[in-house]
Amino acid sequence: MKKYTSRYAELSFYVNGKERKFSAGVYVAATPEEIAVLNRLVDAIPVDEAPKTEEPAAKEKPVKEDAKAPKTPRKASASSDK
């Protein structure tokens, strides 16, 4: 079964000559024929039942914003030896 939403509370569509209707902007398709029709409707938006889980970002090393380049003594310029 696949769940669909619509911005229209009672969007109607036909499957094999029979009327189907969203209730409160939600419809749960039970047959492959309903799914095929709903996939073609612009106003029917499929809802992912199992949302993708993002990998935790804790594995990456945090970048220190306060990190500065190590200070090294300044080299004398060639003209200062004169």
pLDDT tens per residue across span 25-34: 999 999 999 9
Q: What is the CA radius of gyration of the chain?
A: 30
Q: Among 3, 43, 50, 48, which Cα is nearest to 27's?
A: 3
The pLDDT tens digits for 45-75 are 999 865 555 555 555 665 666 667 777 887 7
Distances in Å between the Cα of 68 and the Cα atoms of 63, 64, 71 are 12, 9, 9
pTM: 0.57
In a domain, 67, yes or no: no
Residue 75 inside a domain? The answer is: no
Q: What percent of the chain has pLDDT over 90?
A: 56
Domain count, the chain: 1
Greater confidence (71 vs 23) lies with 23
> Does a structural domain hold residue 76?
no
pLDDT of residue 73: 80
